[in-house]
Amino acid sequence: MMEAKVKALEHERRLSRARGEQALEYARAAAELYMQVAERAALQERKLLVAKIKELIDLAELLKRNPANPATTKRPSLPISTRERTRTEEIVVLRASRLHGNTFPPWKDPPDEEFSRASCPEGVYMCVKDVTLTNKTPLTDLKGLLSDDTAFTLSHEQQTTFSGWRRAAELVPRTENGSLENDAKQLMAANSDLDLAQDLASDCSVVASLCAAARYFSPGPGSLLGSLMYPYNHELMRPDVSENGKYAFRMYFNGTWRRVTIDDRLPSSSTDRTLYVVDRRNPRLIWPALVEKAYLKIRGGYDFPGSNSGTDLYALTGWIPEQIFLQSDDFELDDTWDRIKKAYDEGDAILTLGTGNILPEEEQALGLVKEHDYAVLDVKVEAESRLLLVKNPWVDSLVWTGIGSSATLQAHTVGSTSEGQSNQFWMAFEDVLQHFDSLYVNWNPALFLYRQDHHFKWDIPDSTEQLVYTRNPQFSILSPSKSSVWVLLSRHWQDGELDILRARRSERDHHGLSLAAVSKQLGFMSLSIFASTPPGTRIPLADGHHCLHQGPYVDSPNTLLRYTPTPNIAQTLVVTQSELPLPSYSFTLSFFSLDPLTINPADEPLKHTTTVSGAWTRRTAGGSAAHATYFTNPQYALTLTSSSQLTLVLSTSSRDLPVHIALIFSPQTALRGRCITSLHGRDILSASPEYQRGCTFLSVPLLDAGIYTVVLSTYEPGQTGQFTLRVSADAEIALSPLLADSAGMLRTPAPKPAVFRSSGEHRLRMRLSVVRLTRLCILARSGAPPAASELPMFSSSGHRPALGPDSCITSGTAIRISLELGTGPHRKVLAMSGRSLHTNDGNIDHNEEGEFADATMGLCTGEADVDPELVRAYGPGGLWVVVERIGGGTVTGDGDVAGNSTERGLHEGVYVEVLSDGAVQFGKVWENADE
């Protein structure tokens, strides 16, 4: 069935160029092939095919009756999006109608009786003072002429020669003894081949577009102008002259075909230079200048800030634009040549070229202009050389010299002008690849049977979410076959972009910036196709998901992605951007295919999502778990109501910031709503890949209901930046920031670290006293003393307690800390590190022994309420902070290692502090508490 579709389309395209009996045969063959396809097509597809078959049969009947009539020749019908727009999409399309103070409504029906003088309302008559008169212009000719009040802006250079707006009939040379009416009719007909050129206008891309599309625009059978420009004389197969100076154009931009209305006044010049496109062979031809004016109306004026010819031709013709980067490492020479040669020969491609930033000395040597668009007028193979006939649209400019040409033709052929035509030259395709940056191809949409348009608005996410896809438009695409699918993303023009371009162009003029640098100020966009799980669902970021097709990032308002789908498996299309400067945009996605596609906005794979934003500051950027300050990083309590899959996406405002997510189960901190201050390996349930730059992702296949702690960290302490954390699950979730342990509590450090001075010491204690009922917990860390900016463990004098010259403890020793009441065998443990806060029945088990653990990452006891009366009543033992160790050796003051330790631990110790809601006081020394 697919082969029959392709053959039917080929017959349709051949029909557009055939005449007489040959055209009849193509029409019949196409109809028969579509009948074969319709027999096996689904109901919706069959309806479309039946309509196309009827159209071809009607044309065949017309050809049988009058095969010589060229008016019966038609181009293949273009695929039309039959999808019904939503109300939201209708609003998007209508709002995009406003540009530069003008309204360009969506196209409805071709205009009919709008171009006579009688139809021009009194309110739009042109005043005599608004027109430049000639001695041959009678005042009666001014009545009933349309005057468009659009303010067409001009560049500074254009203004120096501008001498007013004149009617088209006033600007062209008059034939001797010719009537105004007869002369006017000749404004729309050329006597020879077109030779369009640009002079003082700054729209090289527009003129290059008109030159390249001349064979489709030229009056005659199948001319595109017949459906794009009004009034149009279908019998004479050329544009007609409007009696009242009014012209209507059908142009495709901002998501749909739109109506652009202008009058026939053009900017006149006080010199022999022209401010609009001219035909050097047919100086009286005026319709190209009217097309140019209509397009410049939607782009902001004659001081055109720059575009590319692919974008311009898309608006002028509706043909699908593709930008091929000739300098890309992925460029395939033979495949590209075969594609464009076949399409060009069959009339399905318009070709233009764009240069990059060429050095001035290279411009003169090569005969090429930097950052300039060229038209391709012909494509051929001769003497084993692949050649393009290239035209520079400037009136008088450089042409390719052929220096260093790789063509096998003789030197006088390559690089020379063609048949004496100025600014045209043959160029080998290999030379094109060397000296041009881009090949723009506008493809005939009639290459496809089906089209589907989707319109949407996108509020660009803030800087913390621009590196991930959590807020990007995403679509699910399902194809029944492997036939190629083309996806075109079009960004709607808006006034803010024109303001940026004009400001940057002024800056370029003052500082010598390139046009490329100016255009890049509008940002970049791209399209990607992913294999998602489940198929066709949204993905949060590229990492961890298989990218099937990645389009280039372009600074153009259009980008095309061509790909081969996997049949009957939905895939996810993601719209991406970089550095788009405005806060909000509207877009259109157009899908072209040979089979009907099922396209919908991609769904979230998990039902519930919550998002928080925060920042790593100088006080909260604690670095990785290798640093003692790890627990100062931002932490969040994650509540999961029932067992579920869980995903976490962390994104930042900096591409170079290495970040990490840790999911921790630590009930002694989560239940009290405070940050964790110690960490054991078994507490870490899952973690993202090690410190990825800019953003990272964590997925847990199944997580039990409960309260968990999420720690967000950068790699090094002091690495600051903003972030956004997005958490998704199938169950309801809640995410709330955890308070730092010091939040609202007093921090009281011990006056000196606990140091085990001999291998025989295993328990050290220091007295602790309270003056009123106080809730407290004890924190401890071992290792070298942290910097003051990292841990606020200070004495009452504000100075960090110093270690003596012989103070030492081995690193890596397993430690346990506790808060004990009394001494000896009858002591009571009020709180201890390394044990659960609750038993299965929810009560505190004071008899449970806590586990020993490495204290370099910190240890924390649970909270305990201490009443001074209870302390006194318990006996003379009092209240103690106890540090215990198991294993480890010692390091003497001179740094020699003793015992079984392999660590150098000079100036190391266990640093202890108390967090409390009331004042506490430590004793003065640590004493040996071994029993």
The residues that are catalytic are 204, 372, 392
Q: Please name the amino acid found at residue 199.
A: D
The 3-state secondary structure of 702-771 reads: EECCEEEEEEEEECCCCCCEEEEEEEEECCCEEEEECECCCCCCEEEECCCCECCCCCCCCEEEEEEEEC
Would you say 212 and 350 are in contact if contact means Cβ atoms under 8 Å apart? yes
Q: Please name the amino acid found at residue 631.
A: F
Sole residue written with tokens 């964790």: 676
Distances (CA, A) of 875 to 118, 459, 829: 114, 69, 15
Local structure of 389: helix, strand or coil: strand
Return the closest-CA partner of residue 828 out of 778, 762, 867, 878. 878
The 3-state secondary structure of 809-850 reads: CCCCCEEEEEEEECCHHHCEEEEECCCCCCCCCCCCCCCCCC
Sole residue written with tokens 């932490």: 635
The rounded distance, in Å, linking the Cα atoms of 906 and 807 is 7
Strand partners, 764: 883, 928
**CA angle 822-825-829, nearest 5°?**
50
Local structure of 247: helix, strand or coil: strand
Sign of torsion over alpha carbons 818, 821, 825, 829: negative
DSSP letter string over 656-698? Answer: T-EEEEEEE--HHHHTTTB------GGGEEEE-SS-EESEEEE
* 528, containing H or E segment: strand 524-531
Q: Residue 641 gets which letter from DSSP?
A: S
Local structure of 172: helix, strand or coil: coil
Sole residue written with tokens 């109809």: 31
DSSP letter string over 264-322? Answer: SEEEEESSS--SS-EESS-TT--HHHHHHHHHHHHHTBSS-----HHHHHHHHH-PEEE
Could you tell me the end-to-end alpha-carbon distance of the chain, in angstroms, rounded to an integer? 91
Return the closest-CA partner of residue 860 out of 828, 888, 801, 819. 819
The rounded distance, in Å, linking the Cα atoms of 266 and 263 is 9
The rounded distance, in Å, linking the Cα atoms of 821 and 865 is 12
87, with CB counted inside 10 A (0-12, 13-18, 19+), is exposed
**CA angle 96-97-100, nearest 5°?**
95
Tokens of 897: 């290692």
533, with CB counted inside 10 A (0-12, 13-18, 19+), is middle
Return the closest-CA partner of residue 162 out of 172, 153, 150. 153
Total Cβ atoms within 10 A of residue 68: 8
The rounded distance, in Å, linking the Cα atoms of 128 and 139 is 8
Distances (CA, A) of 12 to 23, 74, 372, 495: 9, 9, 35, 40
Total Cβ atoms within 10 A of residue 822: 17
